[in-house]
Structure 1
């Protein structure tokens, strides 16, 4: 009973610095790296991304507080694999490894916590509707699930179970819906306007805190809308883009009760650049910066985010690699 009471006390004492950081604006960025394009039948696609997310901004509602004593950093490595069964039907899987750190500096003391491990994974079934919005357009739909492959019962050096925000996995199955839209216009054939929308319906971890509680991260809606172009320089193809991202997360629940200091809304701007280094390798660089946030209660929110990735395609028809 004493251990259980201590754990609950820690959850509510450190809620603004801990749990809220994952469910709302930190944690493993699975949805953020989902959605490879659907290619011709027999095409394999592989992607390897590194995602760095630094949260060092403390907000109350939409007000930034003058407090830099808390910091959260998430380093993630994500492997994407996609196979086109037909020209319209494809499967995609996303696997993750995550390292998370949390630093709290108060009254001359430093509290540092770090965890690492395999994270959860996603399997997505996708179908394409080419020319659905007229010429040079497309709509892709997808349905999938997040499988709880990552551990959700790690403990600290004293054997105390870590709270949900620092676990590599969520301990629950989630459902996902994915929609991708794209359209090019005759006035600028090399340019594309696109939208990417994801809704994640979270499941419940019924074995939280050594099977004494249930925990449910808030459902999440995410929209990415932007513009990309293409130009040739030094015989190399460059694709610059500018994306606006909106993210809304519902509050977390513990034992079916709302957890304070979780949930909120965010708007980010994301300049990005893709470069065809050689014919069979595509390198992508993205920088994500917050321009608006409104959080429930007091929470850490993102300060800066950087994503770097490399992609290539394998044509299974003739065993050639192409891009």
Structure 2
């Protein structure tokens, strides 16, 4: 009974903390945000290393921003992407991650930091392309795969209390990931590209949550992007700026198969991007993601700013584009 009472007390404390500023749906490793390497033709191998900075310093109740900056959440991630094309249509893609998460609580002139670092979860996809399916210079690609729980999900505080799921590097669960992407060079400007993609993630259950006393399931997720890019030559370097509108919907998390308050929501972001081809096989890519609409269930910290920058190398390239946006 003493152990059971202690568990109930811990769960109550966690719940109170989540009711104030739960961040499960907005923080963490940006897996879905960094999928979708292009098929560069048979035998092409693409490798990318990126750094992702995600700042959450906006407290929302529904769509209303609250005048409260006592909590800050920062996620720093290192992302390693790799892709290989077996044919002009069939390819594979993987994404491996390392993540550092920091939560700072400021109260009564004091700051309390909670920080975790470690290998995060990874994704493996198989993709198939349908070139010119909806017209000349068009491409549709579909893919499916799994998110593998490489990361730890059992980090504890200095007092030995296990941290909540949103601060763990890993989820402790296997997920299914699906991807559909479309791109086309419009007739009115051959150097431009119209693009769209949808990523879905059906989450599994972590059956070892809180030292195997509970189960935890992050909410399913759907994410869509629509973008326009163009190319121009400057200082003998090919630049490709683009503008992307992103929609993300995260469903509520579940603990012991019951909905967890203050999780889930939907967001709309604007994402300016630019890539610079340093050589025929190497490109620098950077993007800034700014929220323009946020609606969260209950009260949650929500994204304030995200910045991503990386370098991509493609061997045995087939065309002049390193990345499809």
Note the C-alpha offset of 1:17: 5.4
Equivalent residue pairs, number:
317
Note the C-alpha offset of 1:279: 2.8
SS of 2:252's partner is: coil
2:19 is equivalent to residue 6 of structure 1: no
Asked if the contact 2:23–2:301 (Cα under 8 Å) also holds between the matched residues in 1, the reply is yes
Note the C-alpha offset of 1:280: 2.4
Note the C-alpha offset of 1:6: 3.4
After TM superposition, the structure 1 = structure 2 runs for residues 1-323 of structure 1, keeping only pairs within 5 Å, are: 1=3, 2-16=5-19, 20-22=22-24, 24-315=25-316
The 1:35–1:17 alpha-carbon spacing in structure 2 relative to 1, beyond 3 Å, is: farther
1:168-193, Cα deviation, whole Å (9 max, x unpaired) = 00000000110010111121100111
The 1:270–1:89 alpha-carbon spacing in structure 2 relative to 1, beyond 3 Å, is: same
Note the C-alpha offset of 1:16: 4.0
Note the C-alpha offset of 1:62: 0.3
Asked if the contact 1:55–1:303 (Cα under 8 Å) also holds between the matched residues in 2, the reply is yes
1:25-74, Cα deviation, whole Å (9 max, x unpaired) = 11100110011001211111001110000000000000000000010000
Moved over 4 A (4+): none
The 1:203–1:4 alpha-carbon spacing in structure 2 relative to 1, beyond 3 Å, is: same
SS of 2:185's partner is: strand
TM-score of the superposed pair, with normalisation by structure 1: 0.95
The 1:252–1:192 alpha-carbon spacing in structure 2 relative to 1, beyond 3 Å, is: same
Q: Give me the whole-angstrom Cα distance separating, in 1, the residues matched to 2:31 and 2:6.
A: 33
- What are structure 1's unaligned runs of at least 5 residues? none
Note the C-alpha offset of 1:81: 0.7
Q: Give me the whole-angstrom Cα distance separating, in 2, the residues matched to 1:7 and 1:106.
A: 21
Larger mean CA deviation between 237-246 and 33-42 belongs to 33-42
Q: Give me the whole-angstrom Cα distance separating, in 2, the residues matched to 1:310 and 1:177.
A: 25
Note the C-alpha offset of 1:196: 1.3
Q: Give me the whole-angstrom Cα distance separating, in 1, the residues matched to 2:314 and 2:238.
A: 16
SS of 1:189's partner is: coil
Asked if the contact 1:51–1:306 (Cα under 8 Å) also holds between the matched residues in 2, the reply is yes
Note the C-alpha offset of 1:10: 2.5
1:120-168, Cα deviation, whole Å (9 max, x unpaired) = 0000000000001100100000001000000000111111111101100
Q: Give me the whole-angstrom Cα distance separating, in 2, the residues matched to 1:29 and 1:16.
A: 23
Larger mean CA deviation between 308-317 and 125-134 belongs to 308-317
Alpha-carbon RMSD across the aligned residues, in angstroms, is 1.5
Asked if the contact 2:281–2:317 (Cα under 8 Å) also holds between the matched residues in 1, the reply is no
SS of 2:249's partner is: strand
